[in-house]
Amino acid sequence: MKGNRSGAGRKIRLMTLFASAFVAGALVIFGIASFLGALAGIARIPDRWRLVAAAAALIALMVVDVIAVRRFSWCPLGWRRQTPKALVHHYAVPAVLVAWGFDTGLAVTTFRVAALTWGALILTLFGFSSWQSGLAYGGGFVVPMMCLLLLSPRTERFEALLHARPVVQSISAVMLGGSAALLLTQGRS
């Protein structure tokens, strides 16, 4: 029984390392988006123009998701790579999980299922949210992921994730379109 507890404890510690690094990466990328928006002076652009530009970007991302659903593919935006699996042969597992978590948290450096993440970054760049959105993005990913990993048998969770891709992309498209519509209605006020 003690071996099971220490095994479960190790699993939770390793998952926590990954999750913490993911949130750190998310804070960095949302911080960069916020910084670039401030550096470019986007907040000085009249609100109406910012709202329209952000809405147009969200609509373009919605189209990307719709195309991905129709082609049965991943989101085509971002770098088409992952943290190299070979790192585990050269470094300790905790170090690899931290590198993998941080890289994945950066949101633009690895495969993505849907374009919604890009929409959140666009809203941050245009000054409609702040770098702190990285906390929400990070938490929105790691909390369900940790629950899934702790509560589901291994084969079930991965099969379910593979089959959920078109559903997630469709939800992303609806959220991006709805957000664009909301921005456009704000521009009329």
- pTM of the entire predicted model: 0.87
Whole-angstrom Cα distance, residue 6 to residue 65? Answer: 42
Q: What does the pLDDT look like over 43-61, one tens digit per residue?
A: 999 999 999 999 999 999 9
Whole-angstrom Cα distance, residue 168 to residue 50? Answer: 28
User: Is residue 73 a contact partner of residue 149, using CB atoms and an 8 Å limit?
Assistant: no
Position 162, amino acid: L
What pLDDT is stored for residue 169 in this prediction?
Answer: 95
What pLDDT is stored for residue 70 in this prediction?
Answer: 95
Whole-angstrom Cα distance, residue 36 to residue 98? Answer: 26
Cα→Cα distances 128→18, 49, 54, 142, Å: 29, 13, 9, 24
